[in-house]
């Protein structure tokens, strides 16, 4: 399906990556591991294990996980698998920060799939997703202008999306929404993913306003609210 994606000749800036040190301890730096309900996508409401990696090269103005920018604890993939095996579900969401900023994340995703987990990946779309295991559902969060990071979108990533993947736009304004509609058309995004999601920035854009824009646009896209925030508010570990 990816051959239907239209790719205008727009160069993406080279993404920033966390440097790999030859002397660094093995494993990934992990901000938190927890068991909760998935708050987004068509898996919203389903029990899910969350593995949140530390670090992100982006600084979106409305970021809701800035606490994961630094800190955390280094864990091996084997240790992570042992830690999550007691949770009563086979659904795992790998998130951040920006999980792909740690190169070892690709190996984690494959190991999770090999172990039998149903895996999703939440990524900003600023880093290369081409090496992500095809069994993983990628949730590609493209950044509209009000995020302050729209120049970091790596449009080449659209070529590496599969029919079970998702593209998400988190919008703060009408300008963000119109920009998103334009990109959906320019890049033929509807033709290369399972679905397109629109979310309002929490406590900045009223959901009913975004709902009306979506209805008026005629787009075949899903409005989603972040279920975990509706249930527990904006805090870690949920």
Please give the full DSSP string across 117-178, using - where no structure is assigned.
-EEEEEE-SSS--TTS-TTSEEEEEE--GGGT-GGG--GGGGGG--TT-EEEEEESSHHHHH
Q: According to the model, what pLDDT value does residue 18 have?
A: 40
What integer best gives the mean pLDDT of the chain? 89
Percent of the chain surpassing pLDDT 90? 76
**Phi, then psi, of 228 in degrees rounded to 5:** -65, -35
Classify strands 195-200 and 28-37 as parallel, antiparallel or unpaired: unpaired
Q: Smallest Cα–Cα separation from 139: which of 98, 174, 191?
A: 98
1 is a domain residue: no
The domain of 78 spans 26-232
33 is a domain residue: yes
**In total, how many domains does the chain have?**
1
168 is a domain residue: yes
The encoded tokens of residue 136 equal: 């993983």
Mean pLDDT of 87-115: 97
Q: At 70, which CATH number? A: 3.20.20.70
Model confidence pLDDT, tens digit, residues 199-225: 999 889 999 999 999 999 999 999 999
pTM, 2 dp: 0.87
């Amino acid at each position: 399906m990816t051959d239907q994606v239209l790719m205008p000749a727009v160069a993406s800036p080279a993404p920033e990556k966390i440097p790999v040190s030859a002397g660094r301890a093995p494993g990934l730096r992990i901000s938190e591991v927890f068991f909760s309900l998935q708050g987004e996508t068509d898996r919203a409401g389903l029990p899910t294990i969350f593995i949140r990696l530390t670090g992100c090269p982006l600084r979106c103005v409305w970021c809701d996980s800035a606490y994961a920018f630094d800190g955390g604890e280094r864990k091996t993939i084997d240790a992570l698998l042992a830690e999550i095996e007691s949770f009563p579900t086979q659904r795992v969401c790998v998130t951040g920060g920006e999980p792909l900023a740690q190169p070892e994340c690709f190996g984690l995703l494959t190991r999770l799939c090999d172990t039998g987990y149903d895996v999703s990946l939440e990524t900003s779309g600023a880093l290369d997703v081409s090496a992500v295991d095809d069994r993983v559902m990628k949730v590609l969060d493209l950044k509209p202008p009000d995020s302050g990071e729209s120049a970091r979108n790596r449009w080449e990533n659209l070529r590496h999306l599969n029919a079970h993947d998702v593209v998400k736009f988190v919008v703060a304004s009408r300008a963000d929404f119109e920009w998103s509609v334009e990109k959906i058309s320019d890049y033929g995004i509807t033709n290369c993913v399972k679905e397109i999601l629109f979310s309002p920035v929490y406590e900045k854009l009223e959901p009913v306003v975004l709902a009306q824009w979506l209805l008026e646009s005629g787009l075949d896209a899903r409005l989603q609210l972040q279920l975990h925030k509706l249930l527990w508010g904006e805090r870690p570990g949920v």
